Homo-oligomer: A and B are copies of this chain.
């Protein structure tokens, strides 16, 4: 994100608990926060969920008045932590939907977010200044903004990000149980279906365990569907309902990606602007740019 924001010409600096050889790296997180307070910078939390509390403690101490956003993969737990640690903070949560199975500083690129969805939490009580700052950051990084609530975000990513990681883990282990012969025969379907298991387990765990309730719902849905397929295969030998539903769902994904788009301007001074923006997000739409007090959205169709 540092690289992507720099590409857009923004002044960026940061700190990591891992030594990073980059001129934009401050020696410590406290140094970075003190500088943020001096320069009235937007503070972006870019840590796994288990580290959020500790970093928020430092923000509360060293940069409590800065605009605040984050790029953590769940939104309700972070919003709760912000409300506890920094009541009154001007905060809008964020989550860019882009990543690589490789981890660490060297795995990032300035192009990572180009065209990607970047959720910005758009609740009734979201600070408009923080919302605008988070949206500008996302757009500067090349992403498109999906406005929605923390709750709806967490339910959605359980299905399209956390469940895929869990199913990839189950698939990888079930395949490896077939021994070297099975792995030697593995081609595209197994490779693709297990790719995300190349990610460091700590990151996957932080992400999935941090979204426990919504992930349980998604896992139950998947268990029900897999159990139904099992029952049908055992009793009638048929899998048509499962495979056709899967094919149609994949088609829906491709249709959404290939859809044209209709531009929808939303006046941000309208008291119902956030509600309109959430409806846009629910319908699969995104904010493409800001133009003064207008957010220019696009709906697939």
Q: Which residues of A line the B interface, CB within 8 A?
A: 97-101, 116-117, 119, 146, 148, 152-153, 155-157, 159-161, 163-201, 204-205, 208-209, 212, 215-216, 218-223, 225-227, 229-230, 233-234, 237-240, 242-254, 256, 281-286, 300
Complex Cα distance A192/B197, Å? Answer: 12
* Nearest 5 A/B pairs, CB to CB: A169-B246, A180-B284, A176-B249, A197-B250, A172-B249
A175 contacts which chain B residues (CB < 8 A)?
159-160, 163-164, 249, 253
Tell me if B196 and A188 are in contact (CB < 8 A): yes
Chain B residues with Cβ under 8 A from A173's Cβ? 225, 242, 245-246, 249
B contact residues around A252 at 8 Å (CB): 176, 183
Structural contact, A246 and B168, CB atoms closer than 8 A: yes
- Residues of chain B contacted by A169 (CB below 8 angstroms): 225, 229, 242-243, 245-247, 249
Separation of A221 and B216 alpha carbons in the complex (Å): 20
Question: In the complex, how many angstroms separate the beta carbon of A99 from the nearest chain B beta carbon?
Answer: 7
Shortest distance between the CB of A232 and any CB in chain B (Å): 10
Distance between Cα atoms of A249 and B186 in the complex (Å): 12
Contacts A172-B246, A246-B172: A192 and B195 contacting too (C-beta < 8 A)?
Answer: yes
Q: Which residues of B contact A146 (CB under 8 A)?
A: 181, 184-185
Hey, which chain B residues are within 8 Å of A253, CB to CB? 172, 175-176, 183, 186, 190-191, 194
Other than the given A179-B282, A180-B282, 14 more pairs (CB < 8 A) read A100-B188, A156-B179, A161-B185, A163-B171, A166-B226, A166-B229, A184-B286, A188-B196, A194-B250, A198-B247, A201-B243, A204-B247, A216-B230, A219-B233
| 27 A/B residue pairs, CB under 8 Å, sorted by A | A97-B186, A146-B185, A155-B182, A160-B190, A163-B175, A164-B192, A166-B229, A169-B243, A170-B229, A173-B249, A175-B249, A175-B253, A176-B248, A176-B249, A179-B282, A179-B284, A180-B300, A183-B256, A197-B250, A199-B247, A201-B240, A201-B247, A204-B239, A209-B233, A212-B237, A216-B233, A223-B227
